[in-house]
Structure 1
Amino acid sequence: MKSIFTYLFLFCSVVVFAQKDFQGKAVYQSKTSFDMSRFNDREMSEQRKKQMMDRMKNMLEKTYILHFNKISSLYKEEEKLETPGQGGFRFGGMSGGTQYKNISEKKMIEAKEFFGKKFLITEEVEMPQWEMSGETKKIGNYTCYKATMIKKNDDFDWRSMRRRNDDKPKDSTKVIKVSDEIETPKETLVTAWYTPQIPVSNGPEKYWGLPGLILEINSDRTTILCTEVVLNPTEKVMIEAPTKGDKVTREEYNKIMKKKMEEMREMFRGRRDGGRGGR
């Protein structure tokens, strides 16, 4: 009897994924831990720290929705109303964007807004070099398998940024200097959990290339966990690349960001020095 039910389940799964207009929806919760001890050298009360954490919660804890078919996907932050008086915190004036992946063409286009200007960041992506593992675990009703890879960080991977510890000399070949106080490791170990029960080679953010939908990602201090999967939802969306914004490469976009951040740092430094001079 058990073998009959197993056969029916596999048959239904094949039928679902064989449909020409197959589409799925996955909801992900992203959480990033933040060490408030980095502010210990500043005169900041516990109440002030709590206020800061409340303001940063919108940046550290987010909900995303991945709409996917067999070859492409759209990944976007879920829109929600902000609590009055809380005020969302955005790193560097960036707003949440839309990320489009086409795994058959190995192409990714990300629509972002930076200080009121819209950009289309285009990338030719390579197949991620995952190391497969026989380790398994259950996420919801799905059996998932473990895979790992080493991810290269860029200058503005804020979730991996750390305050420099001057008491412990660092190997400059292993970190990216963001400022005199902040640095980012050049590489991060990423652990993914994917399920072959949903045989699409996709996942949240930039992650893809496994023989099944990625339901969980662990990268440094960030965990992205799938909380809901809907196959062939009643309301389907158009999975198409975004078109509004200035087209730039990732390298060009990072240069624009770096220049703007340096301008802001000089502006704040000028205000601070001017305030001291007026005393």
Structure 2
Amino acid sequence: MKTLLNKLTITLLILSTCSTTINAQEFQGKAYYFSKTPMDLGSWGARLSEQQKKQVEARLKNRLEKTYVLSFNKEESMYKEEDKLDAISGATDSWGKNFTAGNQYKNIKTNTFLQSQEFYGKQFLVKDKMQIIEWKMENETKQIGQYMCFKATASIPKSQLSWYVFSWSQIRNNNDSNENEVEMAQIEAWYTPQIPISQGPGEYWGLPGLILEINDGSTTILCSKIVMNPKEKTKIKAPEKGQQVTRNEYKEIITKKMTEFRDNRGRRRR
């Protein structure tokens, strides 16, 4: 307990010092992240040879390994995925973009969340409140680059983190499971009070410092580089284009559309 109190005291001292610096001058920063998700082929993968698995992994590389940039100031942030060419064809993964997160804007002062999403040629602007995350401060620290980081954990419904994703298995699981049963993701975060802003990658935020690492049990997002107060300032501008919907409304739209695609395909085969 005494150790935890000492660490919290150090955190408050760092925050106090850094806050003075922030109030003294307007600042900006950019954090560069990369994410990795293990390949899960399920029962189908058991029938593949090691060579076939490597070929599938190469095909899915762009979906399993991604890079992002988080631009931030005291109140706002913009989180964008960097485009990469397909490792096999040399083309961008246009189909996969239908079910990946678009440019994401967060404003902690106004509690505003905006995400630009394109679904099969139609533009949507998802507008909602920021994700509520009840963080638990843990008694662990570690160094990430030059930054001392503190650990925090949380439990979040998986559906709240993957509202822009569609899968048939998710629909089957929802139909087969008890309506009151909610599948939870166990989140582990590492944040640094040396950069005392309540921002982080994706929908993660709400800690007394920039989040440098996130693990949700299947995907790890890790900060590889931070640039503070770059010479060329970047204006963080909230996205404006697209049909405005909430997260839940967007999920309903893509689920309905994919169900229509399936039903229409079934009719053509008859």
Q: Considering the TM-score relative to the shorter chain, is it more than 0.5?
A: yes
Alignment partner of 1:129 is 2:126: no
Alignment partner of 1:172 is 2:178: yes
Q: Which digits, 9 at most, give the CA deviation of each residue in 1:27-73, with x for residues without a partner?
A: 000111122243147x6555443332222111111000000001110
Structure 1 pair 162/252, CA: closer, same or farther in 2 (3 Å)?
closer
**Cα offset, 1:85, TM superposition:** 1.4
Q: Distance in 2 between matches of 1:38 and 1:91?
A: 22
2:244 aligns with 247
1:186 aligns with 183
Structure 1 pair 50/266, CA: closer, same or farther in 2 (3 Å)?
farther
Corresponding residue to 2:123 among 118, 121, 132: 118
Q: Which digits, 9 at most, give the CA deviation of each residue in 1:186-229, with x for residues without a partner?
A: 21111100001110010000000000000000002000000001
Q: Distance in 1 between matches of 2:57 and 2:265?
A: 22
Q: Distance in 2 between matches of 1:13 and 1:84?
A: 46
- What residue identity is the alignment partner of 1:140? G
CA contact (8 A) 1:94 1:115 kept: no
Structure 1 pair 174/60, CA: closer, same or farther in 2 (3 Å)?
farther
**Cα offset, 1:114, TM superposition:** 0.8
Alignment partner of 1:97 is 2:102: yes
CA contact (8 A) 2:191 2:211 kept: yes
Question: Residues 128-277 of structure 1: matches in 2 within 5 Å?
Answer: 128-154=133-159, 156=162, 172=178, 186-269=183-266, 273=269
2:62 aligns with 58
- What residue identity is the alignment partner of 2:26? D
Q: Distance in 1 between matches of 2:132 and 2:98?
A: 31
CA contact (8 A) 1:59 1:90 kept: no
**Cα offset, 1:128, TM superposition:** 1.8
Q: Secondary structure at the match of 2:22?
A: helix
Alignment partner of 1:24 is 2:22: no
Q: Distance in 1 between matches of 2:81 and 2:135?
A: 26
Give me the TM-score of the superposition, normalised by structure 2: 0.80
CA contact (8 A) 1:32 1:159 kept: no
Q: Which digits, 9 at most, give the CA deviation of each residue in 1:107-141, with x for residues without a partner?
A: 10000111111110001125421001121111111
Structure number having the greater strand percentage:
1
Alignment partner of 1:76 is 2:101: no
CA contact (8 A) 1:25 1:229 kept: yes
CA contact (8 A) 1:122 1:248 kept: yes
**Cα offset, 1:86, TM superposition:** 5.1
- In the alignment of these two chains, the number of paired residues is 251
Give me the TM-score of the superposition, normalised by structure 1: 0.78
More displaced, 109-118 or 260-269? 260-269
Q: Distance in 1 between matches of 2:263 and 2:20?
A: 60
**Cα offset, 1:94, TM superposition:** 3.7
Q: Distance in 2 between matches of 1:221 and 1:160?
A: 17
RMSD of aligned C-alpha atoms?
3.2
User: Percent of aligned pairs with the same residue?
Assistant: 44
